[in-house]
Amino acid sequence: MFEGEKTRIFWIGLTILGLASIILFSILWYSLVSTSFYSWNWSYLVPPIGGAVVFILIGLYMMKSGTKKKEEGKTQLLTQ
């Protein structure tokens, strides 16, 4: 999926994807391991979880658009 030359956009997208994944995992982990799990109000977690999912999708899109495919079958002219 991400074959080809990686540009700066790819690496920024990978960073966004990584940070959003860490945030989403930490929110879910803390809410599941919390001692007062049943009294936890999930309505406060909807905005951060939704934001993390949106940033994960943005990071994946940036990674997809940040790769340059190698053109096959074309000959490059060398200029001096």
Domain ranges of the chain: 5-68
- 80: which 2 tokens? 């001096």
Q: How confident is the model at residue 33 (pLDDT cuts 50, 70, 90)?
A: confident
Q: From residue 36, how far is each of 25, 32, 49 by CA, in Å?
A: 19, 9, 19
pLDDT in tens, 52-66: 999 999 999 998 888
Q: Indicate the pTM of the whole model.
A: 0.71
How far apart (Å, rounded) are the C-alpha atoms in residues 15 and 29?
Answer: 21
Amino acid at site 14: L
User: Contact, 13 vs 59, CB < 8 A?
Assistant: yes
